[in-house]
Structure 1
Amino acid sequence: MNKLDGTGFLGFDVFGTVVDWRNGVARAAAAFLKRHDIQVDPHDFADQWRGLYQPSMQRVRSGERPFVTLDVLNRENLETVLSRLGVDFGSVHDLELTELNKAWERLDPWPDSVAGLTRLKRRFSIGTLSNGHIAGMLNLAKFGGLPWDVIVGAEIAGTYKPQPQTYLKSAKAVGLPPESMAMVAAHNAD
């Protein structure tokens, strides 16, 4: 018996598993950093920004703050990193920050992601099971040609992985019992 017999849906972590967030964010940040003479390597900047990802979601998971979508957290985290780097916000237009925050919606898939997802679609329904917000995941899918059947995850559940309700409410949204789903991630936290 195959371990995936009875599985009808594969839910994918996206950032890192399906797309290359680090190089994509660094690429988007490079011009911004140069334009504002911010002396930091774009990859270090991407790492600092992403380094605030889990702590900001933990505040939601713990109930310290109400649920907000990942784009809101990413924007807050962007401003925190820029502040730590000594950026004068009076010299940075809000539209520039909004545009830079959209870097998370313009990330290249790993070289085998689209072909692999397309192949898996022959047997399973596939979709995100991500902390990303629905609109951002939709834009990312369009940008990278990701062939999702559905986008579920944190926004459906009103909390972030690895809270159980993120997985359970996503299962309900696709009309399957949790035991008929499999989580696909490049890391063990999921």
Structure 2
Amino acid sequence: MDNKLPVALRGEKILHQRAERILDPTDPEIRDLAKSLLITMRATDGVGIAAPQVKVPVSLVIVESRPNRRYPDAPVMEPIIMVNPEITELWGVMDSGWEGCLSIPGLRGYVPRFTNARVKYETLTGELVEKDFEGFPARIVQHECDHLDGILFPVRIEDCSDILSEEEYRRRILKEA
């Protein structure tokens, strides 16, 4: 499977379903899926991706913050592959920030999220990890874990005027010509 996968788009049923728990995180098929997710995320300038976004209804996400065309100010972090992630604590302040989604191309939304998140997950070797995230990576984790619950970012937006087209976002927020 180690290749770019087609991305499910808003309206497809899989994006509104709860993902299934992965019974064996060491399964070679899960490792292959993770490789393909990483390829797909990088090819589409994402900073995170969840398996349901490539039409596979399992609990697997990747978080990899890095500057790219869609997120020029993103901090750099190594990719983290999370099997069966569960947010165990959210804290800090509720802070709104601009989000996009590979499954909702062409739109950005000003989404309120907590500034800190603690996540418990398994690695591809079966190790249980608990890790804290802060700032933009915490935002990514919350966004991707929402996908595992069948939630897309527009439902988190408090005011409909906080939704922009990608072009307007680039012009108004990124101040591109």
TM-score, structure 1 normalization: 0.29
Which protein is richer in helix relative to its size? 1
Query: Higher relative contact order at CA 8 Å, sep ≥6: structure 1 or structure 2?
Result: 1
Bigger radius of gyration among the two: 1
TM-score, structure 2 normalization: 0.30
